[in-house]
């Protein structure tokens, strides 16, 4: 575990958190005027490997081959970030030692964003340290400036929880709403996992070991791989207590 401290005065800015993978859907907007949930679980953080935040450049300003090197293979209608990579991303509830910077909270549709730069400052010294995002259709998160903070060890990481603890003892947002629909994060996780399955299958049919997994993915795989042929590839669950 570690916490993030202000690089200017060393004051703690967050609670102890543990690093997890960066959500591949972090920049996916959902709907319009929709109040979104937190991108990160409380107690965790991820590091954005790509450039984010200002300054921005238009597609026309990119040098030859630069778009492809950044993973873009077709023109995009919006500006591309030319900010630094490596921004830590946390749940707002884990950020404790900051204050909003007056007049620096871009967005203002239903909330704020960091599109104009940092909107959070260290509560102790006033140095800009990051940006909170909670505008409509955006995942709620705090993105820290990589050069304005430093990681400080904060004790050992908790042991990996088994399935009994995850299902029965840890509170969290249920994956399915009361109306029977998947919540927003579950939809995004299922979508990105489906893409991974299609790539891994590489045109072959897929055999699922778990009935619940087959219920979620089998129909979609048949839709996107209508001509799947050859020996079936096996898909099994992975996690605590499983090989």
Domain-embedded: residue 241: no
Average pLDDT along the chain: 88
Residue 78 covered by a domain? no
In a domain, 74, yes or no: no
Portion of the chain with pLDDT greater than 70, in percent = 95
Residue where a domain terminates, one of 103, 134, 153 = 153
Number of domains into which the chain is organized: 2
Domain housing 140: 2-49+86-153
pLDDT value at residue 171: 58
Q: In the listed set 99, 123, 153, which residue is the last one of a domain according to the structure? A: 153
Residue 182 and residue 133 share a domain: no
pLDDT at 133: 93
| Same domain assignment for residues 171 and 222 | yes
Measured in degrees and rounded to the nearest 5, phi and psi for residue 132 equal -95, 140
Q: Which of 218, 212, 216 is nearest to 232 (CA)?
A: 218
242 found inside a domain:
no
143 and 174 co-located in one domain: no
CB neighbours of residue 49 within 10 Å: 10
204 with 148, same domain: the answer is: no
Residue 79 lies in a domain: no
| Residue 136 and residue 111 in one domain | yes
Number of H helices, E strands in the chain: 4, 15
Which neighbouring-strand residues pair with 233?
Answer: 206
Of the pLDDT bands very low, low, confident and very high (cuts 50, 70, 90), residue 237 is confident
pLDDT digits (tens, 9 = 90+) for 164-222: 777 666 656 778 888 888 888 888 999 999 999 999 999 899 999 989 899 999 999 98
Do 206 and 131 share a domain, yes or no? no
Is 141 in the same domain as 177? no
123-170 pLDDT, tens per residue?
A: 999 999 999 999 888 999 999 999 999 999 998 887 777 777 776 666
Are residues 129 and 43 located together in one domain of the fold? yes
Return the pLDDT at 118.
94
CATH number at residue 95: 2.170.150
Q: How far out from the chain centre does Cα 129 lie?
A: 19
Are residues 198 and 168 part of one domain? yes
Q: Are residues 137 and 187 in the same domain?
A: no
Asked if the structure places residue 191 within a domain, the reply is yes
Same domain, 39 and 97: yes
Look up residue 179 and give its two tokens. Answer: 């109306």
In a domain, 73, yes or no: no
* pLDDT tens figures, 31-48: 778 888 899 999 999 999
Confidence bin at 64 (pLDDT 50/70/90): confident
User: Both 224 and 134 in a single domain?
Assistant: no
């Amino acid at each position: 575990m570690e916490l993030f401290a202000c690089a200017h005065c060393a004051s703690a800015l967050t609670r102890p958190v543990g690093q997890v993978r960066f959500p591949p859907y972090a920049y996916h907007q959902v709907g319009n005027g929709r109040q979104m949930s937190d991108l990160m679980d409380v107690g965790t953080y991820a590091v954005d490997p790509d450039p984010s935040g200002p300054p921005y450049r238009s597609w026309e300003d990119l040098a030859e081959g630069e778009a492809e090197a950044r993973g873009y293979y077709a023109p995009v209608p919006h500006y591309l970030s030319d900010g630094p990579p490596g921004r830590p991303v946390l749940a707002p509830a884990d950020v404790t030692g900051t204050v909003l910077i007056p007049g620096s909270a871009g967005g203002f549709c239903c909330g704020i964003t960091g599109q104009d730069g940092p909107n959070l400052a260290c509560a102790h010294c006033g140095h800009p340290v990051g940006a909170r995002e909670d505008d409509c259709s955006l995942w709620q998160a705090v993105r820290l400036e990589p050069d304005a903070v430093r990681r400080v060890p904060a004790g050992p990481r908790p042991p990996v929880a088994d399935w009994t603890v995850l299902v029965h003892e840890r509170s969290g947002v249920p994956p399915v709403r009361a109306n029977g629909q998947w919540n927003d994060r579950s939809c995004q996780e299922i979508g990105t996992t489906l893409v991974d399955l299609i790539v891994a299958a590489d045109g072959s049919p897929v055999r699922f070991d778990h009935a619940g997994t087959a219920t979620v993915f089998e129909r979609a795989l048949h839709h996107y791989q209508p001509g799947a042929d050859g020996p079936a590839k096996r898909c099994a669950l992975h996690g605590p207590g499983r090989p």
